[in-house]
């Protein structure tokens, strides 16, 4: 990684979803079962931004919420975590988005109710220029007008010599009639840092893939670094023009919940990458941060 100034001056600009997660209090097999739910700040992009801040990285979030009390709740949660509301837009004509989540120890079941999160506006050049890394998610890219504005921002960021980071957290229920392939091709032209889970890849391809088949599918993609996260089976990763490597997940003392573990993983990776650590050391930090999240029932920044 080339230097872009003092580490303290480097910034990650996160563009994407900030929404309310209504998470089941107990583990349930699926949302088909009755459960009690608790209100939480959610959204992969917002979670990543907060985790980065907790790890000591200068991070800011571009997102949209409704001009309602749920939006106020989310902004209060952000500011409590040390994230400024500078780039959080309150949309008068839309309601804050909600995702209903059935917690379990494997892949959480969820149903999205979306409105304000997809109304992200055009991002000013000055905001992009002050960042070292610009990050977004498949969730954020799934709908217009956010999609066009985010792709435009990523293109301008790449032209300005910034690193592009993508969490391809693809889900058909989010994209609906769009298979996401056209957007994915556009992202690969930006030579990104790419995170994708085995579950994400299966949903994206519509196929049940072994680890070997997943690696083969990803092998020729134009990405600076690819991380294929495999839950309790650790992570496979590769740098461009290098061979795949594997690191095992770190043992956890107790499983409080896996919701948000992927966001913690990628925050750990980006924090180390931004501090000019090797890819191997960045993966180790990613796994350490994911372990901490799995062992906690709350956000990392909360004691």
pTM for the structure as a whole: 0.92
pLDDT band at 58 (very low <50, low <70, confident <90, very high): very high
Q: Is pLDDT of 36 > 60?
A: yes
pLDDT band at 290 (very low <50, low <70, confident <90, very high): very high
Residue pLDDT, tens place only, 194-242: 999 999 999 999 999 999 999 999 999 999 999 999 999 999 999 999 9
CA 73 to chain centre: 21
Q: Who has greater pLDDT, 5 or 18?
A: 18
Average pLDDT taken over every residue of the chain: 94
Q: Is pLDDT of 6 > 70?
A: no
Confidence (pLDDT) at 3? 36
Distance CA 234, CA 248 (A): 4
What number is the average pLDDT over the span 66-77? 97
User: And the tokens for 200?
Assistant: 């994400």
Q: Which residues pair with 100 in a beta bridge?
A: 22, 111
Q: Is pLDDT of 130 > 60?
A: yes
Confidence (pLDDT) at 10? 85
Which range, 20-34, 105-119, 265-279, has the best average confidence (pLDDT)?
265-279
Fold of 8-295: 3.40.1190
Question: Do residues 14 and 137 make contact, with C-beta atoms less than 8 angstroms apart?
Answer: no
Residue 250 burial class via C-beta count within 10 angstroms: exposed 0-12, middle 13-18, buried 19 and up: middle
| DSSP secondary structure letters along 28-85 | -S-TTS---EEEEEE-HHHHHHHHHHHTT-EEEEEEEEESSHHHHHHHHHHHHTT---
Confidence (pLDDT) at 226? 98
User: And the tokens for 256?
Assistant: 């409080």
182-189: long-range contacts at Cβ-Cβ below 8 A with a sequence spacing of 24 or more?
183/138, 183/141, 183/147, 183/151, 186/151, 187/141, 187/154, 188/221, 188/222, 188/223, 189/222
pLDDT band at 1 (very low <50, low <70, confident <90, very high): very low
Confidence (pLDDT) at 298? 81
Cα torsion 117, 118, 120, 121 to 10°: value is: -140
Q: Is pLDDT of 5 > 80?
A: no
Confidence (pLDDT) at 107? 75
Is the link from the previous residue into 145 a cis peptide, with omega within 30 of 0? yes
What number is the average pLDDT over the span 102-119? 89
Q: Is pLDDT of 136 > 80?
A: yes
Residue pLDDT, tens place only, 239-288: 999 999 999 999 999 888 787 899 999 999 999 999 999 999 999 999 99
Distance CA 100, CA 121 (A): 25
Q: Is pLDDT of 7 > 80?
A: no
Confidence (pLDDT) at 301? 84
Pairing of β 98-102 and β 109-113: antiparallel
Give me the residue spans of the domains in the chain. 8-295
Q: Is pLDDT of 181 > 70?
A: yes
């Amino acid at each position: 990684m080339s230097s872009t100034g003092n580490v303290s001056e480097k910034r990650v600009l996160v563009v994407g979803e900030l929404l309310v997660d209504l998470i089941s209090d107990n583990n349930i097999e699926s949302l088909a079962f009755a459960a009690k739910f608790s209100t939480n700040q959610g959204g992969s992009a917002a979670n990543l931004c907060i985790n980065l801040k907790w790890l000591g990285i200068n991070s800011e979030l571009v997102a949209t919420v409704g001009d309602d009390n749920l939006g106020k709740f989310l902004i209060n949660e952000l500011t409590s975590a040390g994230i400024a509301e500078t780039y959080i837009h309150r949309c008068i004509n839309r309601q804050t988005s909600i995702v209903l989540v059935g917690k379990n120890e494997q892949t959480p079941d969820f149903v999205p109710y979306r409105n304000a999160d997809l109304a992200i506006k055009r991002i000013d050049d000055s905001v992009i220029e002050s960042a070292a890394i610009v990050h977004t998610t498949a969730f954020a890219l799934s709908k217009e007008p956010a999609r066009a504005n985010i792709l435009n921002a990523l293109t301008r960021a790449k032209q300005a010599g910034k690193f592009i980071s993508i969490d391809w957290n693809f889900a058909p229920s989010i994209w609906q009639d769009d298979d996401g392939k056209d957007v994915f091709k556009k992202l690969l032209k930006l030579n990104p840092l790419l995170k994708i889970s085995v579950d994400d890849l299966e949903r994206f391809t519509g196929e049940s893939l072994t680890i070997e088949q997943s690696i083969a599918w990803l092998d020729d993609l134009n990405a600076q670094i690819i991380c294929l996260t495999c839950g309790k089976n650790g992570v496979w990763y590769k740098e461009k023009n290098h061979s795949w490597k594997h690191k095992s997940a770190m043992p956890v003392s107790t499983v409080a919940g896996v919701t948000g573990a992927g966001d913690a993983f990628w925050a750990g990776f980006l924090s180390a990458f931004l501090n000019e650590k090797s890819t191997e050391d960045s993966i180790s930090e990613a796994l350490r941060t994911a372990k901490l999240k799995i062992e906690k029932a709350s956000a990392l920044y909360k004691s």
